[in-house]
Amino acid sequence: MVPITALYAGLLTLIAIVLAGLVGAGRGRTGISILHGEDMDLATRIRRHANFTEAVPLALILLAALELNGAGPGFLHGLGIALVVARIAHPIGLHHDNMRNPLRVIGAGVTVVVTLVAAVALIWGYISR
Asked whether the beta carbons of 16 and 53 are under 8 A apart, the reply is yes
Using CA atoms, how far residue 124 sits from 64, 75, 92, 111, in Å, is: 16, 15, 34, 20
Domain boundaries 3-127, CATH class:
mainly alpha
Over range 54-66, report the average pLDDT.
98
Q: pLDDT per residue over 15-52, tens digit each?
A: 999 999 999 999 999 999 999 999 999 999 999 999 99
Q: What percent of the chain has pLDDT over 70?
A: 100
Q: Give pTM, 2 decimals.
A: 0.95
